[in-house]
Amino acid sequence: MTGTPDKTLLDHLKRRIALDGPITIADFMNEALAHPEHGYYRKQDPFGRKGDFITAPEISQMFGELIGLWAAVTWQQMGSPRKVNLVELGPGRGTLMADALRAVRNVPGLSDALTVRFVETSPVLRTHQQTAIMPYGIPATWHEAFDEIPAGGNSPMIVIGNEFFDALPIRQFERASHGWSERLVGVDANTGELGFVRGAETPVTDALVPATLRGTAKSGDIFESCPAAIAIADQVARRLNEVGGAALFIDYGHPHSAFGDTLQALKDHKYHPILEQPGDADLTAHVDFAAIGRAMLEADARIGAVLTQGTFLRMLGIEQRAELLKENADDAQAGSIDAALARLIDADQMGTLFKVLIGYGRETAPPPCVSGAEG
């Protein structure tokens, strides 16, 4: 977004650090993204070509349509229950849900069964979501957090989250000579600006850095953990076991836990210094899909193998869908359909960096793209 930088949040953070000492990166991300007045997701609409970044549903309608069909088949495989909650975590502008609802309009019985549940903290984005799905006449409710969604007569649940986990606050731990020290955000005494500092060296628990990785760590290695993502994966897994259903998480990240500093800030489609202009730039980190999968397995739910976005969308027939759309398109439109397809599935674009993890209840049949996914 352009305009005068908003210094209020920066000043607030400096005051907080002056009073309490350095804060964790998670605290910094929380303030920068979710501060009630000045947080990035609270005060603006960051999406689309004019925003700071563009997400898959904003690139092409095919993305949401195919996810809608995935959800419809998942529902049918559960025996087409009379009621089903379609939950979306962090729905942005509501584009994915609108495209999904349009794609499943003609699936017999599904529209009558559906209730949409949006988990969204931003008031601005909630209005966008409401407008986006209005044409489809499906009842919808909004919730601050996943665990605030009511049990609702124990109807089964289908959960979708695209680029949701990457926006949740992470902590970073650096391997030091003896133990581990947390990377913190402090104020540089000379410049008066925010800067990264090292916390005291401490032993680190399994919950923060998996034991398997701790053994191989070299001095300077950084491990990122996202306690909020783990907590939500656990809550979703428990709910899927209770009521039946499936979850589809799509995000950029890695299939195995690994070392590395992946925290980044984006503003106007460009990388931006992380600690400058908090609240005016988006902050994200790679998602550790192994950690999310582990949390779901520990809660006794089931998971499929982690797929790349390219493989997942091809399995759902995105290439055929693009051909079909091109039949009614002029040359310019056909060109943009091809460009969008390449952007979503090509290895050098979003096709490989973005990953897909499907989780499901222990009494639910494996949803599409789980069986045969291995290998």
Binding site for ligand SAH (CB under 6 A): 41, 47, 55, 57-58, 90-92, 96, 119-122, 125, 162-164, 167
Q: Which residue's CB is nearer to ligand SAH, number 63 or number 180?
A: 63
Dist CA 293 CA 289 (whole Å) = 6
Tell me the closest approach of the beta carbon of residue 285 to ligand SAH, in angstroms.
13
Tell me the closest approach of the beta carbon of residue 109 to ligand SAH, in angstroms.
27
Tell me the closest approach of the beta carbon of residue 202 to ligand SAH, in angstroms.
27
Tell me the closest approach of the beta carbon of residue 328 to ligand SAH, in angstroms.
26
What residue type is 273 in one-letter code? P
Tell me the closest approach of the beta carbon of residue 56 to ligand SAH, in angstroms.
6
Dist CA 296 CA 170 (whole Å) = 19
Dist CA 255 CA 291 (whole Å) = 9
Structure tokens at 110: 């599904």
Which of 35, 126, 131, 43 shows the shortest CA–CA distance to 88?
Answer: 126
Residues whose CB is less than 8 angstroms from the CB of residue 79 and which lie 6 or more positions away in sequence, other chains included = none
Q: Which residue's CB is nearer to ligand SAH, number 122 or number 241?
A: 122
Any bridge partners for residue 83, and if so which? none
CB atoms within 10 A of CB 44: 17
Distance set, CA 231 to CA 56, 83, 165, 243, 357 (Å): 25, 26, 11, 19, 16
Q: Residue with the closest Cβ to ligand SAH?
A: 90
Q: Which residue's CB is nearer to ligand SAH, number 78 or number 96?
A: 96
Q: Residue 257 — φ and ψ, nearest 5°? A: -65, 140
Q: What is the DSSP string of 54-114?
A: --HHHH-HHHHHHHHHHHHHHHHHTT--S-EEEEEES-TTSHHHHHHHHHTTTSTTHHHHE
Q: Which residue's CB is nearer to ligand SAH, number 165 or number 180?
A: 165
Tell me the closest approach of the beta carbon of residue 350 to ligand SAH, in angstroms.
11
Tell me the closest approach of the beta carbon of residue 7 to ligand SAH, in angstroms.
23
Q: Which residue's CB is nearer to ligand SAH, number 55 or number 181?
A: 55
Tell me the closest approach of the beta carbon of residue 187 to ligand SAH, in angstroms.
26
Q: Which residue's CB is nearer to ligand SAH, number 231 or number 334?
A: 231
Dist CA 8 CA 18 (whole Å) = 15
Q: Which residue's CB is nearer to ligand SAH, number 60 or number 181?
A: 60
Contact assessment for residue 49 and residue 299, using Cβ atoms and an 8 Å cutoff? no
Structure tokens at 51: 């925003």
Q: Which residue's CB is nearer to ligand SAH, number 30 or number 155?
A: 30
